[in-house]
Structure 1
Amino acid sequence: MAQLQKLETKVAMKSPEKIAAFFRDSFTSFPQLVPDVVKTAEVMGGGHKAAGPGSVLLLQYSFPGTPLMSVKLKWEEEAMEEAGDGKKSCLFTVIEGEVLEMYKSYSLKIEMDSDAGLSGWTNEYELANPNVAPPHDYIEACKLLAKACDKYC
């Protein structure tokens, strides 16, 4: 039986909380933020805002040397720590797309810690077969997004 694996990265940021606001209020601007990777972004439905928990998000993307791919993500939850410590998190689950040909399951959790000036990106996945490589391209895309959010948002 295969098991879930994790690939994580942390990115220093001036304003990590901007990531949640970007996903919520400006998701369709994703292609302008990281145009080398994301080609289109669309909110398919769900939550009561432009995007938010319950929303289904569609991205078309490519990494250097790969064909155009698409992914549908469901925004599962958004949480703010109760202690007022400046921590926030968002959880997204892949529900459709080429990524599910390589991985049986895939999710992304983003943790934003304003006090520490960090965003943490955890990609949790289960390999479809032992010949599939860990999702290093996805971690690199997370780093690009964090840096772009910090610079442009």
Structure 2
Amino acid sequence: MDLFGKVEADVEITASASKFHQIFHHRPHHISNFSRGIIHGVDLLEGEWGKVGSIVIWRYSHDGKVVASKEIIEAVDEENNSITFTAIEGCLLQQYKSFKLKLQCIPKEKGSVVHWTLEYEKLHDGIPDSHGLLQLCVAMSKDIDAYLMEDNEVA
């Protein structure tokens, strides 16, 4: 069995790609306000919101429990509305040697598509692919879109 894995999903949303990207880029700490069942908090530990090299901690519900993942912002591409987080400590590294989450918001004629890519190396071959976390990302994307469609500003 291959220890390296990659799962991807596309989420069609009504919001513009730039508005959606701004939430993750500059305001991830607001996500817990409108995705309460999933995200319990996002805190900046080092650096500045949205800056490469900054460290954030995500607290979220997964598999029936609240867990935390400390992540570094590895890459930001404002032109292509993408951001990449790499886990450096926490729950993800209990099962994975490495774990990277990338999201890209792709504009469409109406709305946009949020493309999630999760890449990882498992600690051993008994660990399943990360479809559960991918579904969490999909659900969170829908919560963010619903918030943005209520005419809420990204400020």
Same fold (TM over 0.5): yes
The residue type paired with residue 63 of structure 1 is H
Query: How far is the alpha carbon of 1:53 from its aligned partner?
Result: 2.0
Alpha carbons 1:57, 1:73 under 8 Å: kept: yes
> Which residue does the alignment assign to 1:63?
62
> Which residue does the alignment assign to 1:147?
142
d(CA) in 1 for partners of 2:140, 2:51: 18
> Which residue does the alignment assign to 1:72?
70
Ranges in structure 1 where 5+ consecutive residues have no aligned partner: 82-86
Query: How far is the alpha carbon of 1:3 from its aligned partner?
Result: 4.5
Query: How far is the alpha carbon of 1:94 from its aligned partner?
Result: 0.4
Q: 1:64 to 1:101 in 2, by over 3 A?
A: closer
- Paired residues in the alignment total 145
Matches within 5 A, 1:3-152: 3-14=3-14, 15-47=16-48, 50-65=49-64, 67-81=65-79, 87-115=80-108, 117-152=112-147
- Give aligned-pair identity as a percent: 26
Alpha carbons 1:55, 1:74 under 8 Å: kept: yes
Alpha carbons 2:31, 2:144 under 8 Å: kept: no
Give the TM-score normalised by structure 1. 0.85
Query: How far is the alpha carbon of 1:130 from its aligned partner?
Result: 1.0
**Matched position secondary structure for 1:68:** strand
Cα deviation 1:84-111 (Å, max 9, x = unaligned): xxx3211110011011011110001111
d(CA) in 1 for partners of 2:25, 2:77: 13
CA RMSD across the alignment: 1.9
d(CA) in 2 for partners of 1:20, 1:43: 17
> Which residue does the alignment assign to 1:84?
none
Give the TM-score normalised by structure 2. 0.84
d(CA) in 2 for partners of 1:128, 1:110: 24
Query: How far is the alpha carbon of 1:2 from its aligned partner?
Result: 5.5
d(CA) in 2 for partners of 1:139, 1:33: 19
d(CA) in 1 for partners of 2:100, 2:85: 6
The residue type paired with residue 84 of structure 2 is L
d(CA) in 1 for partners of 2:94, 2:41: 21
Ranges in structure 2 where 5+ consecutive residues have no aligned partner: 149-155
